[in-house]
Structure 1
């Protein structure tokens, strides 16, 4: 038997496991640390084992103590810190001293402040609360505004900035900057800006840039043609500043012919325009802002419709003839051409010119009036005849006419009337064309210079009379002497020879009366009452009439016109005075009513007359008693005796 010994080597790892048989130990029992008072929250103070709250916090893993709340710090703190491993625990003391930082000033919690308030607000409102941190612990701070404005105030202890109740106007000033200073007892100071911005209120209506607008546009303008643009501005901001436009409808219906762009304010035509129908349109434009509620303004826009130039000017004559003396000086009147234009707007635009026949520049024409005169450049010797072509233009169209000028010898004499003043008469109501007078003038010159034309100068006489080439004056209308203006009518005459020399006279036309007015009674009818016992020849009443004519045409004669014979038996009228008197005794005719007519006739040739109704009532005299009976008996007896 063989015994073999085999050895086996093994490596055995034995781990000794710790048991929690020791307490945690702080590296020292008391920790002292200084912390600056203005250190921000989270600043590391000390690394220890344990956990703590209050003004400081501790990281549970690293043991770092940091500041958790910097407000209202005391000058010293003693912190109890505990560390635990889950079974055993230990404690230590941390003493913290808060030190004042002499190098730093107090600080505001914000670099600047901003506040908003609506304009026009008159309420007292808080705008901002200014907060500062002092140098020393719990030191009292005081606030004040460095640039005082009576609209703002600040609480000296709380730092509350508020308004005083004075209203604001953003359009006058849109923001305010105030400076707030904070101090403490040692008088060290710090400032901060407070920017106060006013919020807009829609308190401004749009304002047009012009008090009124005017434009003109041709009647040929097509629909959609721009006329003009109105512009309004609003002093507010945002939506309150936006401006929109509209046309206000009015009775004239001018707004039917135009439209306006709501945003741009451009007014355009919306219908075909007609100058002959409406020459001017008045539009009312309203500007509306975008505020709520909206504010508005209105303005008047005047649009004149101009006439379309579609007609050529026309001379009143195709040819003009005139004669001048070869001795006529420069500036001497030669002739005047006249033209018209169917386009009313072009009448004042007409321009006259000489376009041919004036190569020697002997003549000049007034561009506006068409008057032709001897030019300043006239030659010493002129030709015996000139054929001038004159033109008139309205700026687009042109027309022409001929002026034939005959140059003759010298003109030495003026036309002369035989009298400087004439007095003539004409009967009123004479037919039109009645010869009134002959006022002939003579001129000792020969030829054209001895030929005279007559002209009435004054406007009043031009309407009533005409004069021919012989100096005979005729009526153009019927004249009325009763018209005070026409009792005496002066006619101012000019006699002009072919060389332009003139003579003057006045013809005074006296309008004489014609019997063209009937007598007129002063009353529409006459009434009278008379007592029956009135004696013969008693006046009953007076009839009065007048006649607007004069002389015998105004003399009046009166007569009674009655169908009943007894009217003429009992009453008669004075032929010239119109007084009606009793013709016989009226006793026995009591309560009788006499109705008849009185005729008033003038003595003109032929005579004219008028009639009026007359009523006369016979009444018994109340005071009449026995005496009346006696008169009645006597009257009866006398009648029998006559028989």
Structure 2
């Protein structure tokens, strides 16, 4: 049979509620819940309003729901209720819980939550954002936020314009793990005010080294000691260590290596690992490192770029320092330049992120001073964060298409034309130049698609049409390497013996061909034959019987009007 040995326990505390003054009878306010570990009637929980405004509030016997008995209009704005939860045992056991109720009217600012909760590590540096309180003003004006019940020792503060609650002091989980704050929002126009409770839980970090009860231990062991013999028990405490989490131990030699003669057991006892030999080895004490080195950053200075419209938590950059002392744990902080809490640095990794996007102004860059500390020594390094224009506009070309005339013999690197595209985010763009020799005969017209692209914007295309003008850079060529002709006996002077044909890849006057008979020595060949300079027809100038049997035909040359021979 179960004994009634457990009291009801309230869960989800503390209880806070906000009720509008226009709420009617029966309107829900909040609900309290308690549990009882006993069985049967001993574990059946009932609720009752023990103290505070029983004429205004009612508590359901079975569910714990708190409701209104009548309208709160015209009454106080804050109420403290004490609700009791009791079980069905004989005699019954009970527990109490406090319920805070605040009433607001239509002219008062209203927070998005009746109670804010937040967690922050005890290692958080000053001005680290904890949470953002959000409230709306009926007048649509801006609000002023402030702490109505300042934190003990000014550990927290709130930005009066943004509602960002941030760390203002050095937190210590071991000294105080929880803070109960009250923040108000005041309408700048009407002056009406509303307050909201804020609970900040400080989380523990491993910032306390284990402490031995004594700084030096002396022990004598016989070389006859057998392995497993416990020689000494040490007592160690750690303010960060939970009671159910054991500490780990390590026995070191003088050179820092792990001892093979002794080891530490889980209960803190120094025990023998292997057989001892006085003549061969005397055990030496472990050497503890002394913090005698200053941390050094990997760079003399840091610089990075960030869009002018960043998002909260966006990565900015990472700083890195090292310390020759192997046991030192470096801690990074933003020492200067972060008055508006724009940036947050992870104190262990050195990763810097965006913390408060509302506080960015028109400054083109921010200068921060970063420090790395090992507990005794610290060093600084400057960080420049340059804001880059956000890509809010797509570029546009001045023209849909461009046409350019260019000589084919221009040198590589010669500017061809300038295409103008304008982007309000980046300014004018674009100069086109040649990269190699051009050849009109291979490609007389070049069509170049030109595009502009911007991050997150669609690119635009324009076309540049380049017409290459001809230069006289090609020699004429005969269609055949050699021509043969037979002079018939019945031909007469003035008849055409044969016709030669040549071509030129240039155009216009540069391709106009003139034919002539080429002679290396003076002879009478022109008395026998001649050539039409335009058609290339070779004409007989004498009767065939006058040529002779050993007649050798002449060589024919072609020339261009502007090139000469």
TM-score, normalisation: structure 1: 0.30
Structure number with the higher helix fraction is 1
